[in-house]
Amino acid sequence: MARLFLGLDSSTQSLSAIVIDLDTRQVVYEASLNFDKTFPHYKTNNGTLRSSDPLVIHSPPLLWVEALDALFTTMKNEGVALGDILAISGSGQQHGSVYLNNRAEEALKNLNPARSLKDNLKHCFARETAPIWMDSSTTVECAEIRRALGGVKKVVQATGSDTFERFTGPQIRKFSKRDPDGYEETVSIALVSSFMASILAGRIAPIDHGDGAGMNLMDIKKRVWHAGAVKATAKDLRKKLPALVESGKVIGKVSPYFAQKFGLNPGALAVVWSGDNPCSLIGLGLLEEGLIAISLGTSYTYFGLMKRCQTDERGEGHVFGAPTGDYMTLICFKNGSLARERIRDMYSLDWDSYNAALTSTKPGNGGAILLPWFEPEIVPRVTRPGLRRINLDDRDAAANCRGMVEAQMMSMRLHSAWMKVKPRQILATGGGSVNVPVLQIMADVLNCPVARIEISKSAALGAALRAAHAYCKQAGKPAKWKEIVAGFTDPIPGSEIKPNKKAVAVYNKLIKTYAKDEQAALAAIR
């Protein structure tokens, strides 16, 4: 019998599945259900519910419940060998919170396969919608928690991140203030990850250290609920929080619902889920310090593994627990690919001509610097956006194209220094990673080889690999992480780009100028 493992990813816009064969080192099945298209009756926009307040962005948990039923139906109908699945784990969009009432535990234990999951669970919520990571309506609550804990530095040292609007703790605080009756009715607060794991396991699932770190509630070093943060967030919160556990924790066997209804192996293990970022760490094979992934998507993210916990006292970066038992670091830059598109469109270019502009200009851009904050920025914190040019002619299209990319890469270099982990290989992913001239600038600025990696569902793959790792350990045959991911996370052959020594020397000097110009610009707008 093949050793098959299922990884699920409950993201903002879709629910995805990946099945891997650990022996042949192959992905044997992939599927994804788009929420808007598959379940139009929820009237979501990109998986979300909007209100008259643009800062408030929620999603309906019953949508995720219905999607899980539909995805298993799809797998069964398409002939997936569900009976051979040995373990299941998953990934959930980080920070989203689900509020369960006193009916939830009993309903989860007694899921009736003659009814849909939606019918089984529709009366289990103390709150009909779930605030997700896109919600930014808790600025007041962030300030209250930060003040109670003694300021940014102390919050970061305690929880791994400053209080952010999208984080779960501030969202819980807002709910407890705005709807005290609903909060009182809440018996258990789940994350998206632990909620979905609860359905699969047929019981209230714990929260893993990776996703728990994205709540502003977990002691990042001790990996327990931080008493001060819990107290500062809401009354009686501790008794509403599930247990915190390591990412390889086996909850138990899957709920009989899935075996009886879909033919899933009744002995399959339900492994605790984690957040999408920790799962992607595994799905991209970032198992050692110095291996860094840079995702060039709508926003840009810079993340990797860290052995010893370091925190960013400025409160810009994040530290989460890693599935390996170590830590992962993450920095998010909001002005990513969309900012690059703005420069492209400003000069009426296509991507080929944009790339040609990059190759026609010299590293360092003659000392010209661009600060491309088209939108409010996360790193560094910019509340008043705007395009700023220093020694740069706005009529020079090529110089502005280079200035755009150089600024993004220098910002990554500058604002990742707190990690105290020098990159020795960068894996570039996301849509922007197809642009070789961009990757060359990345390699030169960061003085590190860059290789492309194409894994479209890294979070789901990471979840499947986590399931395999947990299964091997449970079976008494623990495997090293390198053995588990081997063959699944290799970069594209021949894609490596090495730094140019002369360009590296230019950027080693320019980074000092860039840092001064950035500080001056920030001081002027604060």
pLDDT score for 240: 98
pLDDT score for 32: 96
pLDDT score for 376: 86
- Residue 9 burial (CB < 10 Å; 0-12/13-18/19+)? buried
Residue 103: both structure tokens together: 């009916």
Tell which residue, 4, 17, 14, has the closest CA to residue 463. 17
**Contacts with 119 (C-beta within 8 Å, 6 or more apart), sequence order:** none
> pTM, whole model, 2 decimals?
0.93
Residue carrying structure tokens 């990345």: 442
Q: Which residues of the chain have pLDDT under 50?
A: none
Please report, as a single letter, which amino acid is at residue 488: F
DSSP H helical ranges for 475-500 = 481-485
For the chain, first and last CA: distance in Å? Answer: 63
Distances from the Cα of 520 to the Cα of 152, 373, 380, 383, 391, angstroms: 22, 14, 12, 15, 14
Angle between helix 139-149 and helix 152-159 axes, rounded to 10 deg? 90
Domain 4-279: CATH superfamily, name plus number: ATPase, nucleotide binding domain (3.30.420.40)
Residue carrying structure tokens 């009529």: 395
Query: What is the spatial distance between Cα 174 and Cα 153, in angstroms, rounded to a whole number?
Result: 23
Residue 389: both structure tokens together: 């040019």
Q: Are 196 and 61 in contact (CB under 8 A)?
A: no
Query: What is the spatial distance between Cα 8 and Cα 20, in angstroms, rounded to a whole number?
Result: 11
CB count in 10 Å sphere of residue 110: 12
CATH number for the domain formed by residue range(s) 337-423+497-525: 3.30.420.40
**Contacts with 193 (C-beta within 8 Å, 6 or more apart), sequence order:** 10, 90, 91, 92, 94, 207, 208, 211, 273, 274, 275
Q: Give the DSSP per-residue string, 5-46.
A: EEEEEE-SSEEEEEEEETTTTEEEEEEEEEHHHH-GGG--BT
Strands (E), 374-526: 386-390, 425-429, 450-452
Tell which residue, 86, 77, 65, has the closest CA to residue 10. 65
| Identical fold, 4-279 and 337-423+497-525 | yes
pLDDT score for 331: 95
Q: Is 464 helix (H, G, I), strand (E, B) or coil?
A: helix
pLDDT score for 231: 98
pLDDT score for 431: 86
Residue 377: both structure tokens together: 């920025």
The length of the chain is: 526
Per domain, the residue ranges of the chain are 4-279, 337-423+497-525
Query: What is the spatial distance between Cα 9 and Cα 16, in angstroms, rounded to a whole number?
Result: 5
Antiparallel, parallel or unpaired: β 85-92 and 274-275 = parallel
**362 — alpha (psi -120 to 50), left (phi > 0) or beta?**
beta
Q: Is 401 helix (H, G, I), strand (E, B) or coil?
A: helix
Query: What is the spatial distance between Cα 458 and Cα 470, in angstroms, rounded to a whole number?
Result: 18
Cα-based angle 229, 245, 482 (whole degrees, multiple of 5): 125
